[in-house]
Amino acid sequence: MIIWSRWGIVAFLFIGLGVGLGFLLKAIAGLGSATGSVSGVFVGIGILLAAVGLFFFDRLVVARHLDRPRGMTVTRQLAVPYQHPDGRVQTHEVVPIVDPASGQQLTVRPRSTLFFIPIGIWPFIIAAIGLLALVLGVVGTATGG
């Protein structure tokens, strides 16, 4: 079963990037041997940064280029096959689908989803997860856990 459509899988990649970024930040801070709640703080920060990155990736790449509206077309058979000068025979042509009422070409806007949730919503879900990890890490560190 596929749980994503189009570019929805990118949300998983950003979550993994955020966890990796959190451990990288922990190593840069010199706390590589620390475990437990200290890791939760840095992983929470990394996931929050990944949520910000996914937000801008969605707005600047997915919405503008990958999921932009496209004109709908249909392939129809030609009444008489057409022979090109190079010898190829064309039996079908691609034509736009036009709304009979308005005369305008119909468009379709593809959607990228993960678990049937649009990719534009995932930065907020990931940010909530990162914030939860950050709060639990800070509370665990403060209580000595």
- In this prediction, residue 37 carries a pLDDT of 65
Instruction: Indicate whether 34 and 58 sit together in one domain.
Output: yes
The answer to whether 126 and 50 have CB atoms below 8 angstroms apart is yes
Instruction: Indicate whether 59 and 74 sit together in one domain.
Output: no
Instruction: Indicate whether 4 and 56 sit together in one domain.
Output: yes
Instruction: Indicate whether 4 and 64 sit together in one domain.
Output: yes
Instruction: Indicate whether 31 and 98 sit together in one domain.
Output: no
Instruction: Indicate whether 17 and 51 sit together in one domain.
Output: yes
Instruction: Indicate whether 63 and 79 sit together in one domain.
Output: no
The answer to whether 111 and 70 have CB atoms below 8 angstroms apart is no
- In this prediction, residue 52 carries a pLDDT of 96
Which pair of tokens denotes residue 79? Answer: 């009444």
Instruction: Indicate whether 60 and 124 sit together in one domain.
Output: yes
| Cα distance between residue 9 and residue 25, in whole Å | 25
- How many structural domains does the chain have? 2
pTM: 0.75
User: 66-116 pLDDT, tens per residue?
Assistant: 888 888 988 999 888 989 899 899 999 898 888 889 988 888 888 888 888
Instruction: Indicate whether 82 and 27 sit together in one domain.
Output: no
- In this prediction, residue 145 carries a pLDDT of 59
Q: How many beta carbons lie within 10 A of that of residue 131, not counting itself?
A: 15
Instruction: Indicate whether 50 and 63 sit together in one domain.
Output: yes
| Among candidate residues 59, 20, 26, 46, the one with its CA nearest the CA of residue 127 | 46
Instruction: Indicate whether 119 and 60 sit together in one domain.
Output: yes
> Residue 48, class by beta-carbon neighbours within 10 Å (0-12 exposed, 13-18 middle, 19+ buried)?
buried
User: 3-29 pLDDT, tens per residue?
Assistant: 888 898 999 999 999 999 988 888 888
Domain that holds residue 85: 70-108
